[in-house]
Structure 1
Amino acid sequence: MADNQIKMQEGKNKILLFRLLENQSEEAAKLVFQTEHTFSYSRELERIITKDGSLINVGELESEVSIEAIQAMGDPVGDMLRQSVIKGQKLELWEVTVDEELKTPDNKYPAIYAQGYLDSWEDPANAEENATISSNFTVEMEPQFGEATLTDEQQAAVQYAFQDTTAPTNGE
């Protein structure tokens, strides 16, 4: 991509991966059928009026991620996330931008990493629509920006690769 050419990012290329903090020896996993998420940042600003003019007292950063997905039957990640709310377990969350144009030479993707808790879990079931999941992840401390590696299984969960019409031979 040319340096002077700016392109739009597509929301479908940003996925969420999760893992219980206590299970750091395991790989993070993707919640299937994600439809939307919003990573939000906010600070409380307090205006102090003085005789010389206004001053602003800046509060602490607050971050959260709202999550929407369609329920998948037998999804272990969905089950783990629901249980994390019920049991009050701390989670790790990654927002990974899976875009080949942004991939680094060492096969990493831009990512945001955060630790925190799901503070809610809803399973709405409308008679005329798919059953959905709605949740909110509250970030503890400050999210970190960096790069993440996706395993072959994680990449397969994002999008299957093109396959030829012929049967593969040994070594392919």
Structure 2
Amino acid sequence: CRITTVLFDNNYELLHDRIDIKGISPITSNEYYVGGSTALLDAIGATISKISNVQDNTSKDYKAENVMFVIITDGEENSSKEYSLDKIKNLIESKKSKDDWEFIFMGANIDAISTAESFGIGANRATNFVSDSDGLSVSYETMSNVVTRYRKLEEIPEDWDKKVREDYLKRKK
């Protein structure tokens, strides 16, 4: 399993570029911190394009058999310049239908369900979370479980986000 991690605000930072999961250290506040505005569409579009290019230009024996694309944001789109909502929706729908990519969307301080749907990600693959240490902890634990299941080629259960949803409903402000 290889991980690509992109951090974004009004800038795009490639933190991990297809690194073996065993070699990934936990992200700390030195790497991840709250920045300025949120160029969410640009981050999604640039990353889909990057991973697509890698997949398209890698021999069959070495390309990823499965791609899971997880989007985690603590704010709504407000500063993208390169990618429009329509372009993102078309990219995501194409990757889902033609290449069988899996997309998960987790959002705080926004309506994650309607945002995900506007991107072409189904409501069953989107969830809201509380943007604090407890909310992030349950979110990352949940994503770890989902990724583990995906890597084992198991179905992602319909209630994959149950703990995150329960935490959000109990503590949302």
Q: TM-score range by the shorter chain?
A: under 0.3
Normalising to structure 2: TM-score of the pair? Answer: 0.20
Higher strand share: 1
Structure with the larger RCO, 1 or 2 (CA within 8 Å, 6+ apart): 1
Normalising to structure 1: TM-score of the pair? Answer: 0.20
The structure whose Rg is larger is 1
